[in-house]
Amino acid sequence: MPLEVAVKDACSTIGEGPHWDEASQTLYYVDIEDKSVSRWNSVTGGVQKIKLEKTIGFVIPSKKGDVIIGLGQTIARLEWDTKKVTVLHEVDQDKSTRFNDAKCDPWGRIWAGTMGLEKQSAVVEKEQGSLYCIDTDGSIKKHVDKVSISNGLAWSADHQTMYYIDSIPRCVYAFDYDIDSGSPSNQRIVVQLPPDTERTLGYPDGMAIDSEGKLWVACFYAGRVARYDPETGKQIQTVEIPGLRTTSVCFGGKDYDDMYVTCSRHWCTLDELSKFPLSGSVFRVTGLGIKGCPSVMYEG
Ligand SMILES: O=C(O)[C@H](O)[C@@H](O)[C@H](O)[C@H](O)CO
Ligand SMILES: [Zn+2]
């Protein structure tokens, strides 16, 4: 299936957190260690970038018209035009962590997780992170702790299941999900990558769900996005990506039939950069023949 570079050299460090904004036909993404957030206009090809003062783990547009960001250990609002940052919450004050990936549930609550600081890709002090929910009234609550690298999130179409990735145990978990209260329960493993395949099958990272309820998982160090059936835990399709450190995926474009993929350039070896010179770019995959689910904005 056709793959093209949507944004060349989009990120100099860890490209992450693609979020398709339908109204503006733009793609938001972050460059975590570059401390920047960008917005690429798919119609004009133009990119707007805002530099920040701390690492940025995610960006999610809100219904108020600003964006919510995971800035260091804080959740903040960023007004795009004025660049004004307002901190809403600070977490993990007794630990060395930072916010990483986040996603809204179908009701528009933000689920955002933290991770220990990396010295190298996927090298962290284990179980330092947590998963938080920021409700539409602005309140924050911790739901899961002892997370190593909090990553991809997705919800089933019937809203009854929440999927969640911790990259270090290399699994995708499922929880029963109560959409009315925003509470997950009954955690179980639905996909487990086999041991000793870290450099071939990679670490599961960002995730998106398609209209058939299948999970698309960015596989860091594997240069691919893998499609899994959460019912069987089996891989059913893969898309090769010319960036070994594939970090995340979302759907966008007309009818949500395009897939956008981010990857990292951070800590790439010279050998890796010569084999994968496009590391750090944002890719668009077309012709998949499936439809993805929209990115949900924050309703608060
Ligand atoms: O993209 C992310 O989520 C982290 O910020 C990354 O650093 C990688 O995930 C990690 O290194 C491999 O799992
Ligand atoms: Zn990630």
Contacts 24+ apart (CB under 8 A), 21-26: 21/61, 21/295, 21/297, 22/252, 22/294
Q: What is the pLDDT of residue 1?
A: 78
Q: Is the ipTM of this complex over 0.90?
A: yes
89-115: pLDDT as tens digits: 999 999 999 999 999 999 999 999 999
d(CA 134, CA 152): 16
Is 83 a residue whose pLDDT tops 90?
Answer: yes
Is 173 a residue whose pLDDT tops 90?
Answer: yes
Please count the structural domains in the chain: 1
Across the range 214-240, mean pLDDT stands at 98
Number of C-beta neighbours around residue 237 at 10 A? 14
Specify if 294 maps to a domain: no
Q: 165 near 204, Cβ under 8 Å?
A: yes
23-53: pLDDT as tens digits: 999 999 999 999 999 999 999 999 999 999 9
Give the number of the ligand closest to the Cα of residue 56.
Answer: 1
Residue with token string 């690429």: 40
203-216: pLDDT as tens digits: 999 999 999 999 99
CA of 83 to the centre of ligand 1 (A): 26
Regarding the beta carbon of 62 and ligand 1, being less than 6 Å apart is answered no
Residues serving a catalytic function are 205
d(CA 130, CA 134): 13
Does 118 carry a binding-site annotation?
yes
The residue contributing the CA closest to ligand 1 atom 4 is 100
Specify if 243 maps to a domain: yes
d(CA 117, CA 274): 27
Q: What is the pLDDT of residue 81?
A: 97
CA of 5 to the centre of ligand 1 (A): 21
Specify if 293 maps to a domain: no
Q: What is the pLDDT of residue 230?
A: 98
Specify if 172 maps to a domain: yes
Q: Judging by beta carbons within 10 Å of its beta carbon (0-12, 13-18, 19+), is residue 88 exposed, middle or buried?
A: middle
Specify if 30 maps to a domain: yes
**What angle is formed at CA 37 by the lines to CA 269 and CA 121, rounded to 5 degrees?**
30
User: What is the residue range of 41's domain?
Assistant: 3-285
Domain CATH code at residue 23: 2.120.10.30
Specify if 291 maps to a domain: no
